[in-house]
């Protein structure tokens, strides 16, 4: 069946940097349904041809060596531009007419991609409804909503209500690009396609779990947005909680969108509610040195660019196993990793009594060195019984063939076009995630909250965070 992808926010950075390159690559790999058309919508006045030319330059830049002139030549003919203002109802009627004029007779499936400013999502959805663009009597109509989905629980609820006035839940695809990462999907495979890990994946064998998303880059020119978010809203509410859900969830009966999401949601339901007092001892927040000098940052900004939070999942599998979620900007290196820290052997016959270095670790490297390492003790040859930490080391790079790792948006766009919502967040999931984040934000605002710790750029966050972990008899896995 014919497909149309309509991108609102066509002149934005995400469209040129991620969306068009991803659609181009899908076209190149012959994965797009035959005759898929792309229509960009934004306020700027452009002709189709001018937009195509502009996209050619950016796609070349972002796709790199995979760019091919003759493939682009065929692809560009399927790209169109329709000027439109989200505030203007008449522009949506014009869009409806335009879509009819380029789409073939018969049923056509459409995906509306909201990549505008988040403040415009509600309006855009209402306008789609008012112009009848949600009517799916002649082919499916789906809407993809970029993050952030709300800025707190109340706004997320309001956006869900506004969305459901126009689209049924099964038409709504809330995107979290971390779920499109190959290594995140591989976590499902690691856990549920192998029999050796699952028996160990519980409180009997695991001491704690660390999930780190460290970024080397500072906030730079994004301060305008970042000042309204901070790392907790920007990263933890979505990406880190998603990683935690997949690490902690029970196996679903089948890989079906609702069954997968039911299991993920159960994890969030099990997260122990915290009081303001708990947060003082169970979180650290920091700001990198120099953040206050970034363009657009107020000199007294209290926005956190780093946080580490300890969460407890109160269910049978995870009772007593803390999950540490840590993320920050301007850190030592760019790395996303999930560390499953196993318990110490029950009786240490050999070696020192120091807890951490001898216990097994399974390290899932989400990026950039995608892979999995299992650390365990081995004997140092030619010693009596001296031990050392050794590893089994799997790297996707050595395994991935020519194509390498596709960008997340390829997988997610294709899934949305095919009506598979397994890797998208459901309404209850986003609301529960905000329900975990809101009390923490409130606790940080209270005068009793420990102060924001300043950390030098290029480190693993504030010194206080390392100390906090040491006081709990644990140690961060600070390895790039």
Binding residues for ligand BG6 restricted to 131-170, rule: CB under 6 A: 147
Binding-site residues for NADP(+) sit at: 43, 85-86, 147
Q: Is residue 14 classed exposed, middle or buried when 0-12, 13-18 and 19+ CB atoms within 10 A define those classes?
A: middle
By CB under 6 A, name the one of 207, 215, 304, 459 that touches ligand BG6. 215
Strand runs (DSSP E) across 189-342, as ranges?
Answer: 206-214, 283-288, 306-312, 322-328, 335-342
Binding residues for ligand BG6 restricted to 168-207, rule: CB under 6 A: 177
Q: Which of 14/356 has CB closer to ligand BG6?
A: 14
Q: Is residue 331 classed exposed, middle or buried when 0-12, 13-18 and 19+ CB atoms within 10 A define those classes?
A: buried
Number of residues near ligand BG6 (by CB under 6 A): 4
SS3 181: coil
Active-site residue, 239 included: yes
Binding residues for ligand BG6 restricted to 106-135, rule: CB under 6 A: none
Least distance from ligand BG6 to the Cβ atom of residue 165, Å = 27
Binding-site residues sit at: 43, 85-86, 147, 177, 181, 215, 234, 329
* Tokens found for residue 136: 């799916």
CA distance 241 to 239: 6
Q: Which of 217/350 has CB closer to ligand BG6?
A: 217
Least distance from ligand BG6 to the Cβ atom of residue 150, Å = 14
Q: Which of 336/358 has CB closer to ligand BG6?
A: 336
Binding residues for ligand BG6 restricted to 318-377, rule: CB under 6 A: none
Binding-site residues for substrate sit at: 177, 181, 215, 234, 329
Least distance from ligand BG6 to the Cβ atom of residue 234, Å = 5
Least distance from ligand BG6 to the Cβ atom of residue 288, Å = 14
Q: Is residue 174 classed exposed, middle or buried when 0-12, 13-18 and 19+ CB atoms within 10 A define those classes?
A: buried
**In the stretch 52-81, what mask flags binding to ligand BG6 with x, by CB under 6 A?**
------------------------------
Least distance from ligand BG6 to the Cβ atom of residue 296, Å = 15
CA distances from 160 to 166, 170, 176, 427 (A): 10, 13, 16, 6
Q: Which of 215/431 has CB closer to ligand BG6?
A: 215
Binding residues for ligand BG6 restricted to 224-243, rule: CB under 6 A: 234
Which member of 3, 239, 312, 375 is catalytic? 239
Q: Which of 22/313 has CB closer to ligand BG6?
A: 22
Residue-level length of the chain: 480
Give 25's strand partners: none
CA distance 152 to 106: 42
In degrees and rounded to multiples of 5, residue 237 shows phi and psi of -55, -30
CA distance 210 to 76: 44
Strand runs (DSSP E) across 267-353, as ranges?
Answer: 283-288, 306-312, 322-328, 335-342
Q: Which of 7/219 has CB closer to ligand BG6?
A: 219
Peptide bond into 368 cis (omega under 30): yes
With CA atoms as reference, report the closest residue to 440 among 348, 341, 345, 309.
309
By annotation, the residues acting in catalysis are 239
Q: Which residues bind ligand BG6 (CB under 6 A)?
A: 147, 177, 215, 234
């Amino acid at each position: 069946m014919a497909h149309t992808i309509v991108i609102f926010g066509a002149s934005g950075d995400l469209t040129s940097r991620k969306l068009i390159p991803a659609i181009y690559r899908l076209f190149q790999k012959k994965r797009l349904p035959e005759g898929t058309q792309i229509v960009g919508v934004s306020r700027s006045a452009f002709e189709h041809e001018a937009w195509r030319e502009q996209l050619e330059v950016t796609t070349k830049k972002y796709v790199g060596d995979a760019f091919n002139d003759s493939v682009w030549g065929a692809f560009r003919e399927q790209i169109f531009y329709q000027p439109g203002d989200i505030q203007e109802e008449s522009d949506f009627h014009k869009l409806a007419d335009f879509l009819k004029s380029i789409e073939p007779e018969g049923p056509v499936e459409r995906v509306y991609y909201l990549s505008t400013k988040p403040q415009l999502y509600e309006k855009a959805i209402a306008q789609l409804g008012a112009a009848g663009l949600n009517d799916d009597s002649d082919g499916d109509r789906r809407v993809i909503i970029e993050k952030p989905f709300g800025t707190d629980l109340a706004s997320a609820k309001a956006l869900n209500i506004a969305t459901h006035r126009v689209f049924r839940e099964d038409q709504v695809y809330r995107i979290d690009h971390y779920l499109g990462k190959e290594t995140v999907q591989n976590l499902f495979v690691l856990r549920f396609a192998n029999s050796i890990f699952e028996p160990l994946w519980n409180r009997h064998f695991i001491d704690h779990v660390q999930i780190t998303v460290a970024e080397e880059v500072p906030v730079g020119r994004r301060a305008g947005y970042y000042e309204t978010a901070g790392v907790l809203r920007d990263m933890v509410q979505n990406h880190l909680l998603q990683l935690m859900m997949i690490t902690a969830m029970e196996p679903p009966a089948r890989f079906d969108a609702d069954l997968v999401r039911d299991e993920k949601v159960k994890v969030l339901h099990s997260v122990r509610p915290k009081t303001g007092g708990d947060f003082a001892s169970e979180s650290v927040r920091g700001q990198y040195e120099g953040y206050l000098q970034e363009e657009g940052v107020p000199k007294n900004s209290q926005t956190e660019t780093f946080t580490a939070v300890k969460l407890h999942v109160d269910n049978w599998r995870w009772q007593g196993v803390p999950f540490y979620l840590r993320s920050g900007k301007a850190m030592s290196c760019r790395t996303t990793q999930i560390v499953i820290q196993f318990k110490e052997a029950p009786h240490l016959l050999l070696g020192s009594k120091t807890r951490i270095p001898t216990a097994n670790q399974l390290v899932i490297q989400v990026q950039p060195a995608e892979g999995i390492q299992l650390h365990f003790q081995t004997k140092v040859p030619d010693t009596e019984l001296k031990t050392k930490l050794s590893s089994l080391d799997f790297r996707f790079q050595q395994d991935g063939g020519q194509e390498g790792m596709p960008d997340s948006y390829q997988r997610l766009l294709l899934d949305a076009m095919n009506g598979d919502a397994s890797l998208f967040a459901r309404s209850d999931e986003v609301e529960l995630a905000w329900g975990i984040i809101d009390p923490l934000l409130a606790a940080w605002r209270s005068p009793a909250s420990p102060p924001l710790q300043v950390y030098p750029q290029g480190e693993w966050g504030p010194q206080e965070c390392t100390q906090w972990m040491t006081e709990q008899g644990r140690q961060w896995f600070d390895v790039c």
